[in-house]
Each structure stands twice: as structure tokens, then as C-alpha cells.
Chain A
Amino acid sequence: GQQLNQSPQSMFIQEGEDVSMNCTSSSIFNTWLWYKQDPGEGPVLLIALYKAGELTSNGRLTAQFGITRKDSFLNISASIPSDVGIYFCAGQLNSNYQLIWGAGTKLIIKP
């Protein structure tokens, strides 16, 4: 099935570092969503973006909806141990349409 191009695939960082990940698509989306999934659990919504150019924050997380509507990025500032997990981007053509997903970015914090 169709997937978005999400990078990096994994990240090894020190606690306190900033993190950046992004997603690109060959298709235009009208909604971009970022989810986090912990082992044994379902994806949890972090940030939803509905307008090209929109920049939205949720605590230490900031995400932007690319101006071309074909990309989005997520930044995490001052990472902490509970940030470990897999982060997924998802694009949606219109409200109530299916979500198209990236393959995920696995965040690992080095001891």
C-alpha cells in the first residue's frame, strides 16, 4: 500500500538533545498528523495540522505543515527518557478519509 517517506528510520540521541524528523509525499494532503506509538499500545495523537504553513506546538513538540502540502516535520526539544518510542506521520486527503502513514521513526535515548 501507499506510504509516506519518513526519515530518519531511527535516531540515537543523548537526553537533553533536540530531535527533528520529517515526512514527504508525492501527493498533496490537506491534513498532516503526528502520532507516537509505544510497545504494545496503539498510536497516540501528538499534533494535528490542517493548513499549509501552519506551525503548531504541544509542549516540547513542534510540527509544521509544509507550504507545498507535500511535507511535514516534527521537532522535539530537550528530549527526556519518556520520549522514546516510534513516531509516525500520517497524511489525510480530506477530513474522514483514510490515513496514509509513514514507516515510522524510532527514537532511542542513549544512556
Chain B
Amino acid sequence: DAGVTQSPTHLIKTRGQQVTLRCSPKSGHDTVSWYQQALGQGPQFIFQYYEEEERQRGNFPDRFSGHQFPNYSSELNVNALLLGDSALYLCASSARQGQGQPQHFGDGTRLSIL
């Protein structure tokens, strides 16, 4: 049973470019959340997708956008990259229905902006 998978594992971009990160949820999960983790800090919530719609959003600018596909996989897009966008981007999946459905994480995409 595959867990949460993310691609690519590492990415290097320059300021002003655009990037797309991908996530496949754990089998049986239908909800995907994205987090940004700066070095030495805890993750910060970006947004959550369920039924192909953005359901919740954290305090991130509109440069951060996402998408969820019918197979529950998801993409995170970041436009006009800034140096401060350098971070580990984590995807988490969970099952929507039922109590006690914790989020399970992938190993993240390490994004470096030059």
C-alpha cells in the first residue's frame, strides 16, 4: 500500500519563474493538504483540496494556487517565485469521512530559488 508520494524530490528555480509540484495521496484518501516548511520551523498550512475544490486556505498570497484531479491527486503551482519561497513543500492526505482521520505526509519537494 503506497503512502503519499510527491514529485519531484528536489527543484532549483530562479526568481520570477513558475513551478508545479505534484502529489499522489495515500490509497483510500480523498483530501489533500499542502504545507510550506522553512528550515528550522514547523510546517505552515497553504491550502486544502477536497472534491476538486479548494476548501480551506492559509495566509498565502494568490501566487500560490492548486488543483485536485478526479483521481484525488493534486498539484501546487507557485508563480513569480521569490527567494523567500525556498522551502520544503509537504503534501498530506487524509480521508474526509469519519472521525479520527489524521493527515499522512509525503517526503516533500525541496524547492530552492536562486
Complexed CA–CA distance, A6 and B99 (Å): 26
Q: Is A42 an interface residue (CB 8 A)?
A: yes
Known A-B contacts A42-B90, A42-B107, A96-B31; A48 and B41 likewise in contact (beta carbons under 8 Å):
no
Q: Is A67 an interface residue (CB 8 A)?
A: no
B107 and A98 form a contact (CB under 8 A) = no
Q: Using a Cβ–Cβ cut-off of 8 Å, how many residues does chain A contribute to the interface with B?
A: 27
Residues facing B in A21-73 (CB within 8 A) are 31, 33, 35, 40-45, 48, 50
B104 and A45 form a contact (CB under 8 A) = yes
A103 and B41 form a contact (CB under 8 A) = yes
A78-103 Cβ-contact flags toward B at 8 Å (1 or 0): 00000000001010000111111111
Kindly list 9 other residue pairs between chains A and B, CB separation below 8 angstroms, not including A43-B105, A104-B41: A1-B59, A35-B105, A41-B107, A42-B107, A44-B105, A88-B42, A98-B58, A99-B33, A101-B43
Interface of A with B (CB < 8 Å)? 1, 3-4, 6, 31, 33, 35, 40-45, 48, 50, 88, 90, 95-104
